[in-house]
């Protein structure tokens, strides 16, 4: 699994060492042919989960988006990839906590059972307390 955080203006990739601070917003879980991605974006940058998917496609040349719906009920399909749900998050890096909850109107709920375990496999994230609310 790869974790991408679109919180910073430069849409920083978190890699193995998350930076300090607190952020909250929306996330999507995207499964590709060779890896899985958890993508965070703050509310101010992503009013809808589809905006996160669109930004993901823009940044990954091998993932091209197809518009299925636009406007408030926007939805993008990513041929060869699966958007496996989404929700809301609150990430406290200093405290090493991540709260996940909610559901995506466009892509449905995330898997509350398996996603926390997958996140813990990412270097630097094993010690995070992950809760589902």
Is 36:49 a contact under the CB 8 Å cutoff? no
Strand bridging mode 75-77 / 82-92? unpaired
Model confidence at 57: pLDDT above 70: yes
Percentage of the chain exceeding pLDDT 90: 52
- The Cα–Cα gap between 69 and 53 comes to 13
Average pLDDT score over residue span 1-19: 62
Residue 42 CB neighbours (<10 A): 16
Position 15 scores a pLDDT of 41
Model confidence at 96: pLDDT above 80: yes
Position 79 scores a pLDDT of 79
Position 65 scores a pLDDT of 74
Give the chain's domains with CATH numbers.
2-132 (3.50.20.20)
Give the Å distances, CA to CA, from 87 to 10, 79, 102, 104, 124.
Answer: 22, 22, 5, 5, 22
Strand bridging mode 36-42 / 66-69? unpaired
**Residue 49 or 75, more confident:** 49
Average pLDDT score over residue span 89-107: 94
Q: Can you point out the beta strands (E) in 2-132?
A: 2-5, 22-31, 36-42, 66-69, 75-77, 82-92, 97-101, 129-132
């Amino acid at each position: 699994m790869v974790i991408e955080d679109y919180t910073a203006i430069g849409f920083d990739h978190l890699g193995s060492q998350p930076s300090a601070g607190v952020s909250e917003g929306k996330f999507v879980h995207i499964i590709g042919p060779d890896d899985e991605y958890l993508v965070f974006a703050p509310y101010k940058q992503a009013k809808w989960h589809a905006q996160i998917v669109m930004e993901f496609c823009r940044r990954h040349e091998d993932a091209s988006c197809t518009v299925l719906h636009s406007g408030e009920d926007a939805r993008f399909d990513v041929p060869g990839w699966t958007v496996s749900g989404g929700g809301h998050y609150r990430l406290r890096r200093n405290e090493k906590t991540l709260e996940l909850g909610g559901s995506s109107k466009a892509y449905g709920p995330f898997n509350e059972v398996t996603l926390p375990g997958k996140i813990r496999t990412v270097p630097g994230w094993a010690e995070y307390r992950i809760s589902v609310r």
